[in-house]
Chains A and B, each alone.
Chain A
């Protein structure tokens, strides 16, 4: 029972590089979400998806791109990484858009 997994767990990249964070869930939940967690800001929603091929912006979408071609996967891409995108990224899923179940997180450092 894998639940929701994220990869990689840790990533160091350079400014300007493209990086993709992966999220996979085995519950067939309709909704999936990406958050970033930063000191002083708590968790902030980047993007979310209500179903395959349906995505929408959250609070802080600039600099990020998402796709959802399959229900179980929701990758997050930083097209040109910046130092301000150094953060811990959490993926979550939800069966009905109510309570959410979180992955273990990806710690991203942009140098």
Chain B
């Protein structure tokens, strides 16, 4: 079965410093992986997605993630945090099996705080 583990429930960084949000996945086949962001009292917004075309995926707002099959990881990074990046981030794997509809399996989320 597919699963995803976000290794930190809360990450705090200073504005202008790098961001690293860690995610490990478990999948019995080549997975589709996503990062979503949720700002307070808002819906979820797709940041980026990996679907095997390239291992380094660039997303919106300067975020990127690298798919590492050997480490079963899909960590999210950004070189320089901005105050507006403060939100909750979800790592997601697609439950895509031979007979499935491709449902999404969500991690528990990582809350990112950005200090001035």
**Chain A: residues with CB nearer than 8 A to chain B?**
31, 33, 42-43, 45, 48, 50, 56, 58, 90, 92, 94, 96-105
Contacts and interface: CB of A to CB of B under 8 A. Distances in A.
Contacts of A48: 101, 103
A2 to B, nearest CB: 13
Given A42-B90, A99-B34, A104 B101 contact: no
B75 interface: no
Nearest to B34: A99
Contacts, number: 50
Interface string B23-63: 00000000010101000011111100101000000000000
Interface majority SS on A: helix, strand, loop or mixed? strand
Given A97-B102, A103-B43, A105-B43, A42 B107 contact: yes
B101 A50 contact: yes
Given A43-B90, A90-B43, A90-B44, A98 B101 contact: no
Nearest to B105: A45
Contacts of B43: 90, 102-105
B94 interface: yes
B103 A98 contact: no
Given A104-B43, A105-B43, A42 B109 contact: yes
Contact of A45 (B103, B107, B109): B103
Contact of B108 (A42, A50, A92): A42
A101 B90 contact: no
B20 interface: no
Contacts of B104: 45, 100
Given A97-B102, A99-B34, A104 B108 contact: no
